[in-house]
């Protein structure tokens, strides 16, 4: 599950912001633009809707689903004035580089242009589907009009009593407004839907199967698979000769917004060629990462030292402390854990720090040997003691990770202010491995 750190920007009323962890279920997905993954053509949502979310130039192979490429060939065309003389002409066809399927395999004529000359097959049920859509659209409008009508209709006795007690004419003005709102409804009370749909006739008799149905040998190479049929749901070809190139689906570039504060947390660039983000507040860029250094062999009620690897992703030093969890609310742990009581400092992330001397860093941070196993650049090994309380199964522990965070999102670059320091706490769940059974 995607975990995202929420930073609210500075509002006009003051530096109001919050720091919360948000998962993908707590965010709103907004479509910014549509684009083709092959030709990278960018288009708006309205244009993509008109094109039925398909690219106008790129096609997928109906046999395997890979992208079709356009290939050129020279075809000799006879001269009508001189039948014995022929002139070469460049023609184009599409071929798949993966399964070697070509448009010539299904008797599709070559085109004189490289792109834009491939027509779509007309669906015989298109008019029927469109009539159903129009019919249900009118039904939806009718239901909406009925809801609006019930919202404004009141009891007549109440209106008569209010009109008799009205001294300043305000009730008359309110009644006129309600009547005007009801007149804006497109479908009237006794009006019915104008679009009529024809009911299909019930089929009771089916034609008999031909005599050679059970005797003719079946060639599986000429029969389409379920995947090939469902790739074209409007046609569903049963034999390979009916396969036709299908236009490539469009992809979207979406931004993610918080449901509570409605601030953007992830917003990509509009250009599909760019892989950069305008806003990218992902948790792995702000929260220290916790890893298990190496697998251990646990035994029942035997204390063992485990090294946890803490990695600092930010560009400044981070103070971290590991706190125990209340035993009454901890239903996850299956082992007793002893955490270091002192705080440790994670060095800032620096790509050139791997070439520095490690002894100098130990002297700078003054690490204790019973707490810190090793230190290298922005990585730190912390020692914890684990005692399993079960005889078999997984050894699970949980604790609270507390660290400081410098919120630079609410400080403008022009202001000479120090970034706000906040302390954040996160519940950590670790599965350290299984109990080692002694022979």
Where exactly are the structural domains of the chain? Answer: 3-33+253-284, 54-120+219-249, 288-434
Tell me the C-alpha distance between 337 and 385, whole Å. Answer: 6
Query: pLDDT class for 59, splitting at 50, 70, 90?
Result: very high
Tokens of 46: 């309205």
Give the DSSP per-residue string, 159-211.
HHHHHHT-SSSHHHHHHHHHHHHHHT-SS-SS---S---PPPPPP---PPPPG
> What 3-state DSSP class applies to 191?
coil
Exposed, middle or buried, 108 (CB in 10 Å: 0-12/13-18/19+)?
middle
What DSSP assignment string belongs to 297-326? -B-TT--EEEEEEEE--SSS-EEEEEEPPP
Task: Report helix, strand or coil for 359.
Answer: helix
For the chain, the average pLDDT equals 81
pTM as predicted: 0.65
- Name beta bridge partners: 307: 383
**pLDDT value, residue 15:** 32
pLDDT-wise least confident of 4-13, 156-165, 168-177: 4-13
Report pLDDT digits (tens) over 66-88. 999 999 998 888 777 777 777 88
10 Å CB burial of residue 369 (0-12, 13-18, 19+) is: exposed
Structure confidence by residue, pLDDT tens digits, 21-30? 778 888 888 9
CA separation (Å) from 337 to 73, 215, 247, 308, 372? 73, 73, 58, 13, 16
Radius of gyration of the chain (CA): 35
For 15, phi and psi rounded to 5 degrees? -80, 60
Which range is most confident: 2-6, 23-27, 177-181? 23-27
The distance of Cα 131 from the centroid of its chain, to the nearest Å, equals 33
Work out whether strand 289-292 and strand 42-43 pair parallel, antiparallel, or are unpaired. Answer: unpaired
- Supply the pLDDT for residue 96: 94
pLDDT band at 356 (very low <50, low <70, confident <90, very high): low
- Which range is least confidently modeled, 60-64, 126-130, 172-176, 274-278? 172-176
Topology of the domain covering 288-434: Immunoglobulin-like (2.60.40)
- Whether residue 364 is predicted with pLDDT greater than 90 in this model: the reply is no
CB atoms within 10 A of CB 270: 12
What was the pLDDT predicted at 400? 92
- Residue 13: band (very low, low, confident or very high) from pLDDT cuts 50, 70, 90: very low
Higher model confidence: residue 11 or residue 335?
Answer: 335
DSSP string, 265-302: EEEE-SSTT---EEEE-BGGGTS-EEEE-S---B-TT-
SS3 of 5-66: the string is EEECCCECCECCCCEEEEEHHHEEEEEEEEECCCCCCEECHHHHHHCCCEEEEEEECCCCCC
**Average pLDDT estimate for 275-302:** 86
Using one digit for the tens of pLDDT, what is the confidence trace for 124-150? 888 888 888 888 999 999 898 888 887
- Percentage of the residues of the chain whose pLDDT score is greater than 70: 81
């Amino acid at each position: 599950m995607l975990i995202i750190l929420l930073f609210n920007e500075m509002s006009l009323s003051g530096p109001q912001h919050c720091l919360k962890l948000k998962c993908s279920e707590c965010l709103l997905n907004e479509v910014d633009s549509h684009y083709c993954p092959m030709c990278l053509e960018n288009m708006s949502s309205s244009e993509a809707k008109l094109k039925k979310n398909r690219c106008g130039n790129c096609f997928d192979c109906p046999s395997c689903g890979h992208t079709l490429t356009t290939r050129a060939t020279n075809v000799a065309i006879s001269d009508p004035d001189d039948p014995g003389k022929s002139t070469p002409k460049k023609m184009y066809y599409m071929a798949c580089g993966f399964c070697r399927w070509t448009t010539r395999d299904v008797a599709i004529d070559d085109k004189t242009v490289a792109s834009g000359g491939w027509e779509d097959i007309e669906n015989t049920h298109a008019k029927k589907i469109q009539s159903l859509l129009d019919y249900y659209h009118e039904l939806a409008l009718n239901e909406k009009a009925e809801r609006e009508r019930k919202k404004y209709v009141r009891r007549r006795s109440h209106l008569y009593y209010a009109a008799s007690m009205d001294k300043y004419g305000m009730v008359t003005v309110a009644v006129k407004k309600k009547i005007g709102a009801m007149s804006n409804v497109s479908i009237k009370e006794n009006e019915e839907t104008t679009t009529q749909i024809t009911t299909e006739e019930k089929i009771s008799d089916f034609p008999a199967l031909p005599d050679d149905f059970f005797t003719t040998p079946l060639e599986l190479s000429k029969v389409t698979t379920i995947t090939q049929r469902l790739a074209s749901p409007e046609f569903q070809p049963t034999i390979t000769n009916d396969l036709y190139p299908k236009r490539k689906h469009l992809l979207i570039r979406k931004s993610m917004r918080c449901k509570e504060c409605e601030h953007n947390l992830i917003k990509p660039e509009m250009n599909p060629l760019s892989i950069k983000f305008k806003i990218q507040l992902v948790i792995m860029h702000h929260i220290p990462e916790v890893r298990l250094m190496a697998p251990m062999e646990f035994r029942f009620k035997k204390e063992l030292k485990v090294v946890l690897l803490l990695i600092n992703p930010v560009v400044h030093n981070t103070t971290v402390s590991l706190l125990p969890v209340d035993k009454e609310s901890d239903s996850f742990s299956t082992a007793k854990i002893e955490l270091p009581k002192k705080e440790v400092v994670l060095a800032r992330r620096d790509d050139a720090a791997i070439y520095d001397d490690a002894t100098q860093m130990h002297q700078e941070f003054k690490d204790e040997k019973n707490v810190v196993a090793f230190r290298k650049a922005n990585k730190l090994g912390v020692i914890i003691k684990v005692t399993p309380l079960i005889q078999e199964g997984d050894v699970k522990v949980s604790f609270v990770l507390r660290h400081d965070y410098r919120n630079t999102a609410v400080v403008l670059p022009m202001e000479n202010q120090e970034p706000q320091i906040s302390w954040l706490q996160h519940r950590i769940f670790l599965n350290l491995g299984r109990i080692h059974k002694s022979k």
